[in-house]
Amino acid sequence: MDLVVARPEGLYCPPGDFYIDPWRPVERAVITHGHGDHARPGSGHYLGSAEGAGILRARLGPVRMDVLRYGQYLVHRGVRISLHPAGHVLGSAQVRLEYRGQVWVASGDYKLEADGTCAPFEPVRCDTFITESTFGLPIYRWQPQAVLAAQINAWWHANAQAGRASVLYCYAFGKAQRLLHDLDPAIGPIVAHGAIEPLNALYREAGVALPDTLHPSQVSDPALYRRALVLAPPSAQGTAWLRRFGEHADAFASGWMRVRGARRRRGVDRGFVVSDHVDWPGLQAAIQATGAQRVFVTHGQVPVLVRWLQERGLQAERFETEYGDQAQEAEAP
């Protein structure tokens, strides 16, 4: 018996009678993380990581929910369920299922490099691995986070020296906090959009150290904006909200900035290549570390990764899913 099968509602565990990150309401849902394409409202009962409980409750509201700390487990209808760090965003987890000698792991979204804002990815040995493939092409290779941080701080410093604000567009949950963690507050004040600041607060409540941020209503002297770095979601681009900052340089932080022309389509001055998803070499390393001989690919560059795995002698196939909606990620929760 397969421990996970694809159904119209989501990825279903038949012996346990529950779903992993269902995209339609179900009775029991195990959630890998709080982005809107993975944590959707309407289900009867939820199970998630204790580390991400604050995020999930903010997204889902007053729902019935149990939590597990990383490495803890429970047994439901004979299936042993445990959650393990995925390194994607705060509270993100891989779901390990064990039943009658079989071990399956569903990765959710993940990345390998530790970023200081969430528990780093831990490979989990298994027979079958269910992986994302958002950036599953050889062109996608991320530079070290320290290099990226130096680039962003240098860009901000140059703008501050020229007397103009720096507006950095990024997804509100996960990406904004990761970038904020490495900003140098000695350069100037850091302003956070109203869609980002509540998530900053949840990260701080979880013990993640982040530099202080200001809401625009807290800035009494508009001259401060000329040295400020402004974190804003992509939806803020071109809105009246930006006018208060006067002359400014802008940039977009995303893995998609690796593609030629993406910055031009976004209409920004600068693109920073950074993603909370695993890159091509990371996909290869993560899959190899599991020891799995069977791999299911859920979303992203599915045919490419499936073919690459098959060429290396692994049993690889796809699961049709409804994950990967960047618009939902941008504003979640």
pLDDT digits (tens, 9 = 90+) for 27-58: 999 999 999 999 999 999 999 999 999 999 99
Q: What is the 3-state secondary structure (H, E, C) of 66-90?
A: EEECCCCEEEECCEEEEEEECCCCC
Q: Does 15 share its domain with 116?
A: yes
Q: How many domains does the chain have?
A: 2
Q: Does 116 share its domain with 157?
A: no
Which residue segment(s) compose the domain that 128 sits in? 5-140+276-331
Q: What's the whole-model pTM score?
A: 0.94
The torsion angles phi and psi of 141, rounded to 5 degrees, stand at -140, 120
What is the band of 325 on the pLDDT scale with cuts at 50, 70, 90?
Answer: low
* Whole-number Å distance between alpha carbons of 262 and 64: 41
Q: Does 247 share its domain with 166?
A: yes
Domain closes at, from 240, 272, 304: 272
Q: Does 254 share its domain with 326?
A: no
pLDDT of residue 267: 85
What is the band of 333 on the pLDDT scale with cuts at 50, 70, 90?
Answer: very low
Q: Does 261 share its domain with 289?
A: no
Domain closes at, from 241, 272, 303: 272
Tell me the per-residue pLDDT of 145-178, one tens digit each, with 9 for 90 and over: 999 999 999 999 999 999 999 999 999 999 999 9
CA 13 vs CA 31, 32, 82, 175, 266: distances in Å: 13, 15, 14, 31, 40
Q: Does 42 share its domain with 188?
A: no
Q: Does 87 share its domain with 124?
A: yes
pLDDT at 259 over 90: no
Domain closes at, from 272, 287, 320: 272
pLDDT of residue 261: 72
**CATH code of 30's domain:** 3.60.15.10
Q: Does 173 share its domain with 291?
A: no
The vertex-146 CA angle with 71 and 53, nearest 5°, equals 30
Q: Does 225 share its domain with 172?
A: yes
Tell me the per-residue pLDDT of 276-308, one tens digit each, with 9 for 90 and over: 999 999 999 999 999 999 999 999 999 999 999
Q: Does 128 share its domain with 69?
A: yes
Q: Does 182 share its domain with 58?
A: no
**CATH code of 173's domain:** 3.40.50
What share of the chain in percent tops pLDDT 90?
Answer: 91
Higher pLDDT, 119 or 333: 119
Q: Does 150 share its domain with 201?
A: yes
How high is the mean pLDDT of the chain?
Answer: 94
